[in-house]
């Protein structure tokens, strides 16, 4: 079993983990309705993907 020879200081440990923070998600625009959403997924507002309608989305009547 691997055992560290010397204890790491907090500064060395934390500087190694400095890039482990979560990055913000990239939101792409829908080509049909320009609504923001995750790339490579069906648009939640209009139901289009790749220029074709994949699912029918019901519109809410206000």
What is the pTM for the complete model shown? Answer: 0.57
CB 49 within 8 A of CB 42: yes
Cα 16 to chain centroid, rounded: 24
- pLDDT value for 57: 82
* 62 residues of the chain, pLDDT tens digit each: 888 899 999 999 999 999 999 989 899 999 999 999 999 999 999 999 988 999 888 876 65
Angle at 20 between CA 26 and CA 22, to 5 degrees: 30
Domain boundaries, the chain: 24-57
- pLDDT value for 61: 63
């Amino acid at each position: 079993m691997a055992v560290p020879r010397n204890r790491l200081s907090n500064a060395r440990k934390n500087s190694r983990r400095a890039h482990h923070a979560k990055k913000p998600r990239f939101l792409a625009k829908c080509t049909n309705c320009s609504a923001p959403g995750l790339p490579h997924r069906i648009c939640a507002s209009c139901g289009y993907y790749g220029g074709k309608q994949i699912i029918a989305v019901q519109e809410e009547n206000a």
